[in-house]
Structure 1
Amino acid sequence: MGKLDGRVVLITGAARGQGEQEARLFAAEGARLVLADVLDEQGRAVADETGGRYVHLDVSREEDWAAAVALATDTYGRLDGLVNNAGILRFNELASTPLEEFLQVVQVNQVGAFLGMRSAIPALEAAGGGTIVNTASYVALTGMAGVTSYAASKAAILGMTRVAAMELAGKGIRVNAMCPGAIDTPMSNPGEGVTSEALDALYGKLVPLARIGRPEEVARLALFLTSEDSSYITGQPFVIDGGWLAGVSLF
């Protein structure tokens, strides 16, 4: 018996990185999947390999969300879970951040999570309840120079998670947030040819566990929050950062 046997889950940003690993783990645990992304070729490949269905989804577009939820309910007859994983990251100092760049990050990260939750609620309620897992960030809880747009959007996701959890508890829908630190994904990797070993060396100076995180580790947290293992948990941020938030070491 898998932890998600019979459950239908929609995962955004599923073509690579954390979303891809969530898709693979959820499929191994028995979930029936709708995988969404804007990277169509990669997304379809992951869907084929996991036995899921793929849908092109620009998370900032209401009509794309409606189509994704409809695919889940038309194909499987229900929707039991949503993982809002899709996101983008831009590095820039506050004084140098163009308004266009700031709004682009907010549109994908913050508006995308908002539209995802709002779009999924009717189907989750019709299924008798379900789960929403939002991907926030370490920087939703503490500061980091150079990521004003990203931090603003991720802090907003955390705020929306708490409000949604309160509003949806009576409908049997649990809403939680993951707050990853540095994870070895294409979004956080600074460039082609940078190895995991090089990233470990960089973050080994910052993180108590002395390495960058792996997307498989975030996927296991997403599984916990989507499964019955977390049945009495809602409205909470779950930090997965190798101890980064714990403090600063001088030695």
Structure 2
Amino acid sequence: MSRTIVVTGAASGIGKTTAELLQSRGDTVIGVDLKGTDVNVDLTTPEGRTALVDQVRELSGGSIDGILAVAGLAHPIPATVGVNFFGMVATLEGLRPLLAGSDAPRAAGVASMASLHPSDDELVAAMTAGDEAAALARAEVLAGDGATGQLIYGSTKKAFAQWIRRNAPTDDWAAAGIPLNAIAPGVIVTPMTAPLLETEEGREQIRAGVPMPLNGFAEAIVPARLLAWLVSEENSHLCGQVVFIDGGSDAVIRGDSTW
């Protein structure tokens, strides 16, 4: 049976590959990105987030089966906070009411194994509190220094992963029959990572922070397949999980410390 799935970040990388995979399986995809998709909006802005919901409602006739919040940035700038956390949350929360008419509603987002890297406690706390102004202000401070700027990305992914864990078992999601989960990819070969992987020196530097003993760096189709399953009818009981699809990075970095 064909399902209607919203995919943000659908113009490139993991989002594009996931949208194409779902379409190849017969699903209807409503793609979202800055340009070149069905819904062209800027998820760093309140206006863009509102437009996302309004346009998806219109295109879908008011009912969808799944949400995949994939759009993200990896730059050490405040906009990364706007997209990776507040844009992600606004996508999931804003579109959630449109899942009400589905027999098998599903939702998932993209975190990262970078959530295991050092983060900035003040930035994470501001995101957790839902204080976008404070979070952007803190990110502005961090972005002013090359070393601290690198904390922005991992902080957004940590805060988002924690948001998934907190919200998935609640009345809005689990009690409404909606599995809410996330994936945490390792290094995925996309246009966003290509400049970092052009030289062997660059690849070695990446491997030092993101060890991937199982098959190394992954193509975008690898996380795309997992995302497609997370919004499939088959996924009935996975709740609040952040699934590390990282070639072993989580196992190497954290070992058995999570138990």
So what's the TM-score if we normalise by structure 2? 0.76
Aligned residue identity for 1:226: V
Shift of the alpha carbon at 1:128?
5.2
2: CA distance, partners of 1:199 / 1:217: 22
2:218 to 213, 217, 238: 213
The SS at the match of 2:179 is: strand
Aligned to 1:120: 95
Shift of the alpha carbon at 1:213?
1.1
The SS at the match of 1:79 is: coil
1: CA distance, partners of 2:116 / 2:206: 19
User: Is 1:76 aligned to residue 60 of structure 2?
Assistant: yes
Shift of the alpha carbon at 1:228?
2.0
1:155 to 155, 158, 178: 158
The SS at the match of 2:195 is: coil
Q: Which moved more, 1:112-121 or 1:122-131?
A: 122-131
Aligned to 2:130: none
Aligned residue identity for 1:218: P
CA displacement, residues 78-110 of structure 1 (integer Å, 9 cap, x when unaligned): 11111111111125xxxxxxxxx2x32211111
Does structure 2 conserve the Cα–Cα contact (< 8 Å) formed by 1:203 and 1:210?
Answer: no
Does structure 2 conserve the Cα–Cα contact (< 8 Å) formed by 1:135 and 1:179?
Answer: yes
Shift of the alpha carbon at 1:69?
3.0
Q: Which moved more, 1:115-124 or 1:142-151?
A: 142-151
Does structure 1 conserve the Cα–Cα contact (< 8 Å) formed by 2:45 and 2:82?
Answer: no
The SS at the match of 1:211 is: coil
Aligned to 1:18: 14
Runs of 4+ residues over 6 Å off in structure 1: 197-202
Q: Which moved more, 1:219-228 or 1:134-143?
A: 134-143
Shift of the alpha carbon at 1:63?
3.2
Aligned to 2:256: none
User: Is 1:90 aligned to residue 75 of structure 2?
Assistant: yes
2: CA distance, partners of 1:152 / 1:204: 20
For structure 2, which runs of at least 5 residues remain unmatched after alignment? 120-146, 254-259
Aligned residue identity for 1:20: K
Aligned residue identity for 2:65: D
% same residue: 30
Aligned residue identity for 1:148: L
Aligned to 1:182: 187
Shift of the alpha carbon at 1:67?
2.9
For structure 1, which runs of at least 5 residues remain unmatched after alignment? 45-53, 92-100
So what's the TM-score if we normalise by structure 1? 0.78
Shift of the alpha carbon at 1:200?
6.6
Q: Which moved more, 1:181-190 or 1:199-208?
A: 199-208
Count of matched residue positions in the alignment of Structure 1 and Structure 2: 220
State the superposition RMSD in angstroms.
Answer: 2.5
